[in-house]
Amino acid sequence: MNGYKKDNKAAPVFVSFTAMIKQPIFLILCCIVTISSFGQINLARPFEDCRIKGSITLFDYKEKKWISSDINDSHTPTLPASTFKIINTLIALESGVIADENQVITWPGWTDTVKYSYRPEIYHDMSMKEAFKASAGWAYVELAKKIGKAKYKDYLTASKYGNADLSVKDDDFWNFGNFAISPANQIEILIGVYEETLPFKKASFKILKDMMIEQKTADYTLRAKTGWTRDHGKDTGWWVGYLERGEHIYFFATRLIKDRSVPNPDFGKCRKEITIEVFRQLGII
């Protein structure tokens, strides 16, 4: 695990959420709260508009301030779904299973469409970069088979990622089983990606950061990854990442959860819509 360095800066990286709520820098914005720097804010409204339960957790890197719409949900762990592709990319590169983002992963010829739904547009050989952008689960499962759970366990423990419970027999332990990470921990990992303080090489971070770019404007750059899994009778949807705007960096983890028996055709798009609306409320964009 070359490239690991201990971060001795004052920034509160990898501080437990329980500890942070005791600090005055932590802001809990539930329902409607008035803050002089932001004006009137209602973080519950975007979730109500989408008719969905969930939370958004943010960290203002410059001001060292945490913001949560639901503090309990912010530190409740669940399956990471495809947001795991963030650290999975680093692990695949670091372990030597794949050389770079352009190396092609061979289509195995089939996938379980009951588990993953039917997506014929991704059923072909593709590069890791394409697999990341298209969220092609089959491609990362093929990489996982080569990496092995013992090596995953080492990297996840060193990175302090989630509960490192890989006991499920399925190779796709990030979509099925008891593996879990909280929104607050997601942000801790993202800070480690931004600072390059996780136990991976600089070259791997550069590849990942380039792959994560979803939007780049004259004003800001947004790096992120979605996720959606359908395990334990629940739909769990994520959008996590960070937005750089000048000297300001805002980390975020939005998670939606609903019973699979409850229909909501907007579930997928609400992950981003809720996040963008909160960004607008906070004056981030």
Give, for all 285 residues of the chain, the pLDDT tens digit. 544 333 433 333 323 333 343 343 344 444 333 333 445 789 999 999 999 999 999 999 999 999 999 999 999 999 999 999 999 999 999 999 999 999 999 999 999 988 888 999 999 999 999 999 999 999 999 999 999 999 999 999 999 999 999 999 999 999 999 999 999 999 999 999 999 999 999 999 999 999 999 999 999 999 999 999 999 899 999 999 999 999 999 999 999 999 999 999 999 999 999 999 999 999 999
Rounded CA gap, 184 and 63, in Å? Answer: 17
| Domain boundaries, given as residue ranges, for the chain | 17-281
Going by the DSSP 8-state scheme, the letter that residue 107 receives in this structure is P
Burial 233-259 (b: 16+ CB within 10 A, else e): ebbbbbbbbbbbeeeebbbbbbbbbbe
| Closest by CA position to 135, among listed 194, 88, 196 | 88
- Residues with Cβ < 8 Å from 67, sequence gap 6 or more? 27, 28, 29, 57, 58, 59, 60, 282
Q: What does the pLDDT read at residue 4?
A: 35
Q: Which amino acid is at 208?
A: L
The Cβ of residue 189 has, within 10 Å, a number of other Cβ atoms equal to 25
Residues tagged active-site: 82
Which residue in the block uniquely carries the two structure tokens 């979803």? Answer: 214
Q: What is the pTM of this model?
A: 0.87
Q: Which CATH number is associated with domain 17-281?
A: 3.40.710.10
